């Protein structure tokens, strides 16, 4: 864990190219040979760190709900937890380093994108559809649309350096509005062609 924490700090602060295995080893308090005993290359360490980070995001369970208000509150809490993690250090710096690396390694980027789903949210949405609380024909597409609503305002502009991460009040406003739009679009009892 010390190696992964040190790598997250180094990659986040310096970017992939400028961060060396030697610097990571020093920060972790291990020798370079010890570091290479765990990770064959800087690329492997970076990949492992990203996959571990994404796995933590997927562990976030959504509660059982029985009303639209409960759905909205659960979605706000789910997105708030993700945004807190993604926009906090050292993860935010790591994500920025990843964005830069994507341009140099397109095959790797495609593999990474395949792992970025939110299977917990997909299962939850499928269950809400089954119970008639929401109308969700494609839980995978609905989850992707949900994250597009949230990340399009809060995450991507910050990662791209277009503006700093939003303050807590602005973040709360955007999350509430994104959830409102999403829940309205998938409200049960509406003929909703866009969700089919």
Q: Which domain holds residue 4?
A: 1-58
> Do 145 and 69 sit in the same domain of this protein?
yes
**Contact (CB, 8 A) for 49 and 11:** yes
Q: Total domain count for the chain?
A: 2
What is the domain-level CATH number for residue 14? Answer: 1.10.10.60
- For residue 92, give the nearest of 107, 82, 79, 77 by alpha carbon: 82
- Which of these three, 58, 73, 100, is where a domain ends? 58
Per-residue model confidence as pLDDT tens digits over 77-104: 999 999 998 898 888 888 888 888 888 8
pTM beyond 0.75? yes
Mean pLDDT of 128-134: 95
- For residue 39, give the nearest of 19, 53, 21 by alpha carbon: 21
- Which of these three, 58, 80, 98, is where a domain ends? 58
**DSSP tag of 138:** -
Mean pLDDT of 110-131: 87
What is the pLDDT, as a whole number, of residue 136?
Answer: 96
> Do 128 and 140 sit in the same domain of this protein?
yes
């Amino acid at each position: 864990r010390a190696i992964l924490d040190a790598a997250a700090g180094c990659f986040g602060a310096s970017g992939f190219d400028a961060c060396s295995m030697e610097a990571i080893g020093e920060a972790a308090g291990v020798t370079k040979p010890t570091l290479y005993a765990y990770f064959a290359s800087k690329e492997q360490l970076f990949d492992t760190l990203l996959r571990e980070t994404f796995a933590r995001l997927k562990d976030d369970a959504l509660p059982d709900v029985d009303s639209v208000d409960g759905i909205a509150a659960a979605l706000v809490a789910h997105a708030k937890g993700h945004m807190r993690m993604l926009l906090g250090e050292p993860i935010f710096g790591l994500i920025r380093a990843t964005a830069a690396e994507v341009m140099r390694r397109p095959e790797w980027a495609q593999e990474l994108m395949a792992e970025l789903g939110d299977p917990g949210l997909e299962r939850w949405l499928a269950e809400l559809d089954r119970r008639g609380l929401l109308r969700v024909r494609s839980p995978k597409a609905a989850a992707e649309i949900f994250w597009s609503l949230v990340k399009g305002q809060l995450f991507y502009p910050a990662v791209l350096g277009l503006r700093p991460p939003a303050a807590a009040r602005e973040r709360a406003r955007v999350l509430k509005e994104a959830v409102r739009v999403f829940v309205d679009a998938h409200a049960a009892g509406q003929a909703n062609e866009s969700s089919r």
